[in-house]
Amino acid sequence: MIDLFGREGPLVLEVGFGDGRFTVDLAKAHPEWLILGAEVSAASVQRAYRRLRREGIGNVRLYHGQGLFALRNLVPPGSLKRVIVNFPDPWPKKRHQRKRLLQEGFFRRLSTRLVEGGDLLLTTDHEEYFRLALEEAERSGLYRVEVKEPPETHLRTKYALKWKEAGRIFFHAVFTKMAEDPTPWPPIRRYEVAHALLRGELPKELTLAKASVAIPGGMAVFLEVARGEEGFYVLTHVEEEDLTQDLLLEVRRSARGLYAGVSRFGSPLITEGVKEAVRALVRELGRVGLEVVQDHT
Ligand SMILES: C[S@@+](CC[C@H](N)C(=O)[O-])C[C@H]1O[C@@H](n2cnc3c(N)ncnc32)[C@H](O)[C@@H]1O
């Protein structure tokens, strides 16, 4: 695991920090805490980052991406004092509800990262999602759940102020870890390389099957093929558990033959799923007559 803070201290994770005003208040109120924020919106990360710089805050690190990914890969097992989720996206439409964060699987995984007695603080205006979160945590059997009045500090976020003005009421719960899920949840495995060298003539055109390829915990699909000077670039969408990447695979001439593998562009993480996508690409190249001479997939 990366040492994000360069010192020891109680570790706190905020998922979906939005414009970061709560994060700043929290960091000022607890200068000894080490606060990791995870946020999927790039614009929000930028706003929060500027706010942290302006306020001279040194005990916060921002991660641009999924909270679950940060939890899995940036937080060592049994190290987290607290998780704070203020006004999570409620995903009210039935078909989107699987995107909700606070489900049984999340609570189970979280238990592997929390210290004994560590907790999650949820504040929301969405009663249905709130009830569901309570049920899901109860179902995991790993938490003591207490419904409380929201602390005043949690009602100063951008969304809290917006919903206060709209006259909405707020719900708050504390989920305290009482036991740990026995299934380990190790950080995602990363590889150095994923490529193959092939022999044969590079075709003039490359048409790849649009069908998705099943990979561990998800799927990969070739979205588009573009011709470059030395070969082809294949825009590829890879969805794995906790991680979605759009990356380029390439098929091009190299000093040692035809190279088919991951392009460095965008610095993708080479995961098992990405390796599986490269294997699928190599299979497709086999169908147009290219022969594998070295396989590092
Ligand atoms: C309704 S806003 C609340 C923002 C802030 N907490 C507040 O109270 O003002 C929800 C935020 O969560 C972010 N978000 C949604 N899903 C996320 C996830 N899986 N990981 C990290 N951030 C997420 C959204 O981009 C958005 O900024």
pLDDT digits (tens, 9 = 90+) for 160-174: 999 999 999 999 999
Domain assignment of residue 3, yes or no: no
Residue finishing a domain among 177, 208, 240:
177
Check pocket membership of 89 for ligand 1, CB cut-off 6 A. Answer: yes
Q: The domain spanning residue 73 has which CATH number?
A: 3.40.50.150
Q: Is residue 200 part of a domain?
A: yes
CA of 14 to the centre of ligand 1 (A): 9
Q: Do 105 and 140 touch, CB atoms closer than 8 A?
A: no
Q: By residue range, what is the domain housing residue 224? A: 195-296
pLDDT tens digits for range 218-248: 999 999 999 998 999 999 999 998 889 999 9
> Which protein residue's CA is at the shortest distance from atom 13 of ligand 1?
16
| 86 close to ligand 1 (CB < 6 Angstrom) | yes
Q: What is the pTM of this model?
A: 0.87
Residues 220 and 137 grouped into a single domain: no
Q: Quick one: 129 and 269 in the same domain?
A: no
Q: Is residue 5 part of a domain?
A: no
CA-to-CA dists, residue 200 to 258, 284, 285, angstroms: 8, 14, 10
Q: What is the torsional sign of CA 174, 178, 184, 187?
A: positive
Q: Is 171 domain-assigned? A: yes
Specify the number of domains making up the chain. 2
Same-domain check for residues 138 and 217: no
Residue 158, ligand 1, Cβ within 6 A: yes
The catalytic site residues sit at 89
